[in-house]
Structures are given as C-alpha cells and as structure tokens.
C-alpha cells in the first residue's frame, strides 16, 4: 500500500522531504504489513527490509557524510521511520539508531566515530542502548550499574532491564555510574561502548506482549573489563551527553506511532469506503466518519509537532527537549485513539490478523510507557513549561 | 555514453484529474510528478550508462509553470542534468509541436541514444517519440523491452503481441520503452540530496527558435472537438450454482479459448 491519503505538506520542512517520503514508502512498501507480520510470527528479523533501507542510505540519513551517512538530521530520520511504519512495518531498531548515532556523533572520539558510525549507516553494525535498571527506571540518578577503575580502564558491574535488541547487537551503549558521589550524594554518570559478547555479560529475555521483531532483555554485567577506549566523551559527563540521544529517541518513538496511526486510518478509511452493510458505504455514516476524521486531525497535530521537534533538534535549539517530549506524548495518545477507532471501523475484522491492525496495538501502546512515561512528560511540562512546583 | 531521456511531468494519477471545459485538456496547474511510464526509460538509461562504464543521462522535459518536481525524482534516481522547456506560450501545444520542441532541445546534446516512454499516462497520444525521430531524421525503434549497446549500434528486443522481435539499429537512434520492463530504482538519500545541486536549464520557446505562431494553440495542427465518457462496462454474466455451474464455466472458458 503506497501511502497517499495523509497530506504531508503540513509537516514537511525541507524541499527534499516529499521525495524522501515517497522513496522510503516505495522501498518499505515492497515489503509491507504481510511481510512484517510474517517476520514477527516466525520470531525472525526483518533483515531484508533492514538491508533495503540501508542500501538506499536511509539508516544513516542523520549521520554526517564523513562517517558514511547522508548528512541530514532528525528531520530526515523522522520521515524514514514514519514512512516505514506507515507501510505496516514498525521497526523499533530504527529508534535505537536515533539514540546511539547522535551520542557518538556529538561526544564520541574520532576512533569511535570511525569504528561505529559507518557501520550503523550501512546497517551492518548494531548497537543496543542500556539505561533502564530494575531499581532505577525513570530516576536515572539511582542507576547502580557501576564502572570501577581498573588499571587504565574500568570494571563494569550491574544489571540493565528492558534493553532492546541485545540479541542482534554487536555492542551495547551503557549508562553507568563512575567516580565518587558529589556532596549531595549523587553519583556522576558515564557512557561506555561495551562489546555485546564481552566476557561477563549474560542476557535473559523478558517475554513481552509487543508483537515486534525486537526482543527485550535483562542484561547482567559481571566485572566486564573495559579499556580506556570504551569511554564516550568525558567521564562523569554522561547525563548531559546522553541527552544528545534521548531527545531524538522521543522523536523517533513518535515517528513510529505516527506511522502506525497512518496505517490504521488508511486501512480503516478504505474499508469504510468499500464496506456496505445497508445501502451506503459505512463511511457515509457520521458515527463512523467523524471519529475517524477527529483521529486524523489528532495524528496530523502529532506529526506537525514531531516535525517541528526534529527541526528544533537539528538546529540545536534549547527547546528541542520540551517539544520532543510533547511530540512523543501527542503521538502516543493520538495513535492509540486512531488505531482503536480503526479497529472499531472494521468491526470483527478489526481483530483479524488478516487486516493487520489489532496486532499493532501493543507496539503503539509501548510508547505511552517508553522511552519516557506519559506521566513524566506531564511532570516535565508542569514544572518547566508552566513553572509549577516539582512534584517528585 | 550519452543518453537523453524525454520525461513528462504529469498530475498525480492517484488524485482524480479534471478537464478544462474550455480547452478540453487536462488541468495541469497542480503539482506534477514524474510519469511512472517514463521512470522505466530513466532506469534503462542509467543501466546502459552503468554498463558502458562512462557517460551520463540527460533529461529533457516540457512542462508548465517551470515545474521541476518530476525532474527532481529522475535526477535523484541518478540523471546528471535536465533541460526544462517551460513557457506560457506553449499552452495548447499538440503532439507534433511538443516533439519539435523536444527534438530541438535534444539536437545539441550530442546524444548517442534518445529514450522515451511509449506513451504518457495522461495524454496517451503515443506518437511523440516517433515524431522526435522524424524531426531529427533518426531511426526509431518502438516498444523496447531491452536495449543492449554493441559498438555503434544497439540490439533491441521489441515487444510484440506474440513475443518479441530482435532489432538491430545504428546509433544515434530514438527508442521508446515499454512500461514495466525494468524495475525503476527508488532514489537513495544521497541521490535525493545530490539532485538539489544538479543543473536544470530552463528554455523558452524563443530560446529554441520558435515564435508564438508556431507553438501553443496557434501552432497546433490538431484540435480537441469533443470529450465523451468512456462507455460503461457491461454487466457480467451471473451463473447461479445449481450444482452444474462448473460446466457452464468450463464452456465459457473454452469459448474464450483460454482452456
């Protein structure tokens, strides 16, 4: 299905964006929803789609050209992710690339950039991102995974939780505590790139309901030896550095949901055009049409906000964080409304795998919880945008 | 090897088009896209240049309002540059005028080969490639499904109702390409970004040596007198299944000589 119903002139911010959209939709559309469902059903990976996206340079649009990328930004990567998802292929690994590549680009050493960025752009090197811990979810300051000095490097120990795609990863970008606590008792954080097969790492998968190709893992680090080259940027500067990846992650997560919402509404609108139960297509009934129209408006708002968040991020604006958070919030909520209404429009068929809607539910629902919860975004907006007292 | 590809930019067939009731021609004041039937010619030209190991693909297009969106697609696919013929004087030009203008723009390019789609997806006159060959006094091969360069000539497989003809033709030549015979590439990100800096030279009718009386409505040798809707499809035959329906279906298929 080539996506044509959703106007993108509202959201595109560069003159090459329509061409990029159409090309990504063409490449991903050769695979489509049935392919993706089959991959998930077989517990396989969408390797062919991944390679096709890589071959067209879409995996590295946001990576500088000197490191094998396209030299664009999150404005472009947003389109790559959204158009792929809009073809019924919500590739969560694309979100990981939105975290790791910008962190390395902004804070990595030259050696690190040379080693990882061309591979990420070419799709043949994969990196997971490990931040969440069983006892430190949203509160990153409570991270206990620790890098202890060891010769000229470190020994890494601790447990990470809900680390996506470790089974496919060549390495893991780990957020860990290092150095002594400051006067307020807070530990400094540092970022490391750790080989995924390093001695001392064990992984255990966390069975999840999300029907995605990417699996979730608990990752145990038991005195994993790190050399000095493993450190990203400056020791103790990890919290500041990690935001180079967390804001794009919100934009990328929103892009997945905006794409899913488009897939749902396009499927449902076509169905409502064709399906005649009495004398008219069911889409002629306002009880069917209006909720779909309202959902469309919500999705367009979310897409507009996300495109703007990406534009602000690419411009280095201080406000990119607030807008990226709000865009993720808007995309999660509006996509769930859109997908639910799409399922409803199809009646019983809404739940049939043949139509490919209901099995998108938990992928969309995921982003109401991750990468940052709806509630934490409301806390952030209440405190930083409205100046209300901090609630936690 | 230098290949010129004639491409048309047309209203998106996915959007319902409209006819201008005055002129009975398609309204073209919307955003135009690359005619899909021309993307096969672009792909074939790019493959020929790749196979030759040197050369380039140059686009020639005629479109209203300086429209370049469709050219951007073909440039992003890998064409090196484009010539865009655009001029308010050209509104109403017929197929032969279009061919004369395109041929004039092509003439100075020193092309080894000129490729065009067999027919556009909006006008469907299906004569422009042959008219270009006529104007330039070049050999013309139609309905190509494959082209192979062999020194100073080409071997073309020319699609026919029963199969294909093998045709050999000296270069330079004009070849029209059948839609669907190759898989046009989707532009890569690098291609899309590079297309922004590729030269598009815009030419008016006067630049090509035509005056107002020779082009547009004034110069057209054809006129659209009437437009009528295509006849509605007849209702199909309904066979009620009384347990013996298959015999009627077999008889029907036999009658059609399908089985």
Count of C-beta atoms within a 10 Å radius of residue A203: 18
A20 touches chain B (CB under 8 A): yes
Distance CA B107, CA B113 (A): 11
Closest CA to B89 of B188, B213, B1: B213
Question: Higher-confidence residue: A244 or B240?
Answer: A244
SS (H, E, C) B150-199: ECCEEEEEEECCCCEEEEEEECCEEEEECCCCCCCCCCCHHHHHHHCCCC
**Domain residues for B72?**
2-219
Q: Which of residues 173-192 of A touch B (CB under 8 A)?
A: none
Distance CA B66, CA B82 (A): 12
Structure tokens at A140: 């990153």
Calculate the alpha carbon distances from B87 to B62, B120, B212 in Å: 9, 20, 10
Convert A68-89 to b/e letters by CB count within 10 Å (16 or more is b): bbbbbbbbbbbbbbbbbbbbbb
A34 touches chain B (CB under 8 A): no
Nearest chain A alpha carbon to B195 = A16
Global pTM reads: 0.92
Residue of A4, A15, A70 lying closest to B189 (CB–CB): A70
| Segment among A180-184, A333-337, B202-206 with least mean pLDDT | A180-184
Cα A189 to chain center, whole Å?
23
Instruction: Give the pLDDT confidence score for residue B224 in this predicted structure.
Output: 86
Whether the Cβ atoms of residue B113 and residue B154 lie closer than 8 Å to each other: yes
Instruction: Give the pLDDT confidence score for residue B29 in this predicted structure.
Output: 82
Return the C-alpha torsion angle A55, A59, A61, A66, nearest 10.
-80
| Cβ-based contacts of A122 with chain B (< 8 Å) | none
Does the pLDDT value for residue A65 go beyond 50? yes
Helix (H/G/I), strand (E/B), else coil: A159: strand
Confidence of residue A225 (pLDDT cuts 50, 70, 90): very high
Q: Is residue B213 part of a domain?
A: yes
What is the distance between the terminal CA atoms of chain A, rounded to a whole angstrom? 46
CA–CA min distance A200, chain B (Å): 40
A72 touches chain B (CB under 8 A): yes
CA–CA min distance A207, chain B (Å): 36
Beta bridge partners of B116: B6, B176
Q: Is residue B195 part of a domain?
A: yes
Q: Is residue B257 part of a domain?
A: no
Return averaged pLDDT per consecutive 10 residues of chain B, 259 residues in all. 97 84 85 93 97 97 94 97 97 94 96 95 91 98 95 95 95 95 96 97 97 93 86 83 88 87
A232 touches chain B (CB under 8 A): no
Count of C-beta atoms within a 10 Å radius of residue B111: 24
Nearest chain A alpha carbon to B190 = A70
Q: Is residue B214 part of a domain?
A: yes
A71 touches chain B (CB under 8 A): yes
Instruction: Give the pLDDT confidence score for residue A3 in this predicted structure.
Output: 41
What's the CATH code, domain A17-125?
1.10.540.10
Contact A71 B14 (CB under 8 A): no
A61 touches chain B (CB under 8 A): yes
Helix (H/G/I), strand (E/B), else coil: A364: helix
Nearest chain B alpha carbon to A25 = B186
Calculate the alpha carbon distances from A85 to A32, A91, A225, A260 in Å: 9, 7, 38, 6
Confidence of residue A198 (pLDDT cuts 50, 70, 90): very high
DSSP state of A383: I
* Pairing verdict, β B173-177 and B164-170: unpaired
DSSP state of A6: S
Domain ranges, ordered by start, for chain A? 17-125, 128-236, 240-385
- Topology at the third CATH level for domain A128-236: Butyryl-CoA Dehydrogenase, subunit A; domain 2 (2.40.110)
A123 touches chain B (CB under 8 A): no
Does the pLDDT value for residue A297 go beyond 70? yes
Contact B73 A4 (CB under 8 A): no
Contact A19 B192 (CB under 8 A): yes
Please identify which residue in the block is written with the tokens 């389109």: A79
B179 phi and psi angles, rounded to 5 deg: -65, 145
Could you check whether A17-125 and A128-236 share the same CATH topology?
no
Q: Is residue B241 part of a domain?
A: no
Q: If interface means Cβ-Cβ distance under 8 Å, which residues of chain B face chain A?
A: 14, 69, 72-73, 76, 186-190, 192-193, 195-196
Residue of B14, B76, B190 lying closest to A70 (CB–CB): B190
Whether the Cβ atoms of residue B194 and residue B166 lie closer than 8 Å to each other: no
Nearest chain B alpha carbon to A57 = B189
DSSP chain B: -EEEEE--EEE-TTSPP-EETTTTEE---S-EEE-HHHHHHHHHHHHHHHHHTS-EEEEEEE-GGG--HHHHHHHHHT--EEEEE--GGGTT--HHHHHHHHHHHHHTT--SEEEEESS-SSS----HHHHHHHHHT--EEEEEEEEEEETTEEEEEEE-SSSEEEEEEESSEEEEE-TTSS-PPPPPHHHHHHHTTS-EEEE-TGGGT--GGGSHHHH-S-------PPPPPPPPPP---SS-HHHHHHHHHHHTT--
The CATH number of the domain holding residue B111 is 3.40.50.620
Q: Is residue B259 part of a domain?
A: no
Residue of B72, B186, B195 lying closest to A56 (CB–CB): B186
Instruction: Give the pLDDT confidence score for residue A4 in this predicted structure.
Output: 52
What's the CATH code, domain A240-385?
1.20.140.10
Please identify which residue in the block is written with the tokens 């109401």: A368
Count of C-beta atoms within a 10 Å radius of residue B55: 18
- What number is the ipTM of this complex? 0.93
Structure tokens at B44: 């074939």
Contact B192 A20 (CB under 8 A): yes
Structure tokens at B77: 């696919």
Helices (H), chain A: 17-29, 32-41, 47-55, 74-86, 93-107, 110-122, 238-274, 286-314, 320-345, 361-369, 374-380
Contact A19 B72 (CB under 8 A): yes
Nearest chain B alpha carbon to A3 = B14
Nearest chain B alpha carbon to A18 = B69
Q: Which of residues 264-323 of A touch B (CB under 8 A)?
A: none
Calculate the alpha carbon distances from A278 to A273, A281, A342, B139 in Å: 13, 8, 20, 60
Contact B187 A15 (CB under 8 A): no
Contact A23 B188 (CB under 8 A): yes
Inter-chain CB pairs, A–B, below 8 Å: 45
Q: What is the mean pLDDT of chain A?
A: 95
* Pairing verdict, β A216-226 and A201-205: antiparallel
| Cβ-based contacts of B187 with chain A (< 8 Å) | 19, 23, 56
Return the C-alpha torsion angle A82, A87, A90, A95, nearest 10.
-30
Contact A72 B76 (CB under 8 A): no
Q: Is residue B246 part of a domain?
A: no
- Tell me how many domains chain B contains: 1
DSSP A61-119: TTS-GGGTS-S--HHHHHHHHHHHHHTT---THHHHHHHHHHHHHHH--HHHHHHHHHH
**How many residues are present in chain A?**
392
Helix (H/G/I), strand (E/B), else coil: A248: helix
Q: Is residue B28 part of a domain?
A: yes
Whether the Cβ atoms of residue A359 and residue A353 lie closer than 8 Å to each other: yes
Confidence of residue A171 (pLDDT cuts 50, 70, 90): very high
DSSP state of A284: G
A19 touches chain B (CB under 8 A): yes
Instruction: Give the pLDDT confidence score for residue A180 in this predicted structure.
Output: 81
Could you tell me which residues come within 8 angstroms of residue B161 by beta carbon, excluding any fewer than 6 positions away? none
**How many residues are present in chain B?**
259
Contact B189 A18 (CB under 8 A): no
């Amino acid at each position: 299905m080539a996506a044509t119903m959703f106007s993108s002139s509202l959201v595109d911010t560069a003159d090459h964006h329509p061409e990029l959209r159409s090309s990504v939709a063409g490449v991903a559309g050769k695979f489509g929803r049935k392919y993706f469902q089959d991959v998930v059903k077989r517990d396989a990976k969408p390797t062919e789609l991944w390679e096709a996206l890589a071959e067209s340079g879409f995996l590295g649009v946001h990576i500088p050209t000197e490191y094998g990328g396209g030299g664009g930004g999150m404005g472009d990567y947003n389109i790559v992710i959204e158009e792929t998802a809009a073809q019924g292929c919500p590739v969560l690994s694309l979100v990981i690339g939105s975290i790791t590549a910008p962190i390395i680009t902004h804070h990595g050493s030259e050696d690190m950039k040379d080693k990882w960025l061309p591979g990420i752009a070419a799709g043949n090197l994969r990196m997971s991102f490990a931040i969440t811990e069983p006892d430190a979810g949203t509160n990153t300051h409570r991270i206990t995974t620790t890098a202890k000095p060891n010769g000229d490097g470190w020994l890494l120990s601790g447990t990470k939780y809900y680390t996506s795609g470790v089974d496919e990863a060549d390495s893991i970008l780990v957020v860990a505590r290092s150095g002594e606590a400051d006067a307020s008792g807070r530990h400094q954080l540092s970022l490391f790139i750790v080989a995924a097969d390093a001695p001392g790492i064990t992984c255990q998968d966390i069975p999840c309901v999300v029907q995605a190709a990417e699996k979730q893992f608990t990752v145990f680090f038991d005195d994993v030896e790190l050399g000095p080259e493993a450190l990203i940027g400056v020791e103790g500067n990890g919290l500041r550095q990690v935001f180079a990846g967390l804001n794009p992650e919100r934009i990328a997560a929103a892009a997945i949901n905006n794409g899913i919402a488009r897939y749902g509404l396009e499927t449902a609108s076509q169905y409502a055009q064709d399906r005649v139960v009495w004398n008219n297509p069911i889409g002629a009934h306002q009880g069917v049409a209006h909720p779909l129209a309202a959902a469309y408006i919500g999705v367009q708002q979310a897409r507009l906000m996300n495109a703007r968040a990406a534009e602000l991020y690419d411009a280095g604006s201080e406000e990119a964080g607030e807008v990226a958070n709000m865009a993720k919030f808007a995309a999660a909520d509006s996509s769930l409304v859109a997908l639910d209404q799409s399922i409803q429009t199809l009646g019983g068929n809404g739940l049939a795998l043949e139509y490919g809607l209901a099995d998108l539910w938990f992928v969309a629902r995921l982003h109401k919880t991750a990468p940052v919860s709806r509630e934490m975004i409301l806390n952030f907006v209440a405190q930083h945008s409205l100046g209300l007292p901090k609630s936690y | 090897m230098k290949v010129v590809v004639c491409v048309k930019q047309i209203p998106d067939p996915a959007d319902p088009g409209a006819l201008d009731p005055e002129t009975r021609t398609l309204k073209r004041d919307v955003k135009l896209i690359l005619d899909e039937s021309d993307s096969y010619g672009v792909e074939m030209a790019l493959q020929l240049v790749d196979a030759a190991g040197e050369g380039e693909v140059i686009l020639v297009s005629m479109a209203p309002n300086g429209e370049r969106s469709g050219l951007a697609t073909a440039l992003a696919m890998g064409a090196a540059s484009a010539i865009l013929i655009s001029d308010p004087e050209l509104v109403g030009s017929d197929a032969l005028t279009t061919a004369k203008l395109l041929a004039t723009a092509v003439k100075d390019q020193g092309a080894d080969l000129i490729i065009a789609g067999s027919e556009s997806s909006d006008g469907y006159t299906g004569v422009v490639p042959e008219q270009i060959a006529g104007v330039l006094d070049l050999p013309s091969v139609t309905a190509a499904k494959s082209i192979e360069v062999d020194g100073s000539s080409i071997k073309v497989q020319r699609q026919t109702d029963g199969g294909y003809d093998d045709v050999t033709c000296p270069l330079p030549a004009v070849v029209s390409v059948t839609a669907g015979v190759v898989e046009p590439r989707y532009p890569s990100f690098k291609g899309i970004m590079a297309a922004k800096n590729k030269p598009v030279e815009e030419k008016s009718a006067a630049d090509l040596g035509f005056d107002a009386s020779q082009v547009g409505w004034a110069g057209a040798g054809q006129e659209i007198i009437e437009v009528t809707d295509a006849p509605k499809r007849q209702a199909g035959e309904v066979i009620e299944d009384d347990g013996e329906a298959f015999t009627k279906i077999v008889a029907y298929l036999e009658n059609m000589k399908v089985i």
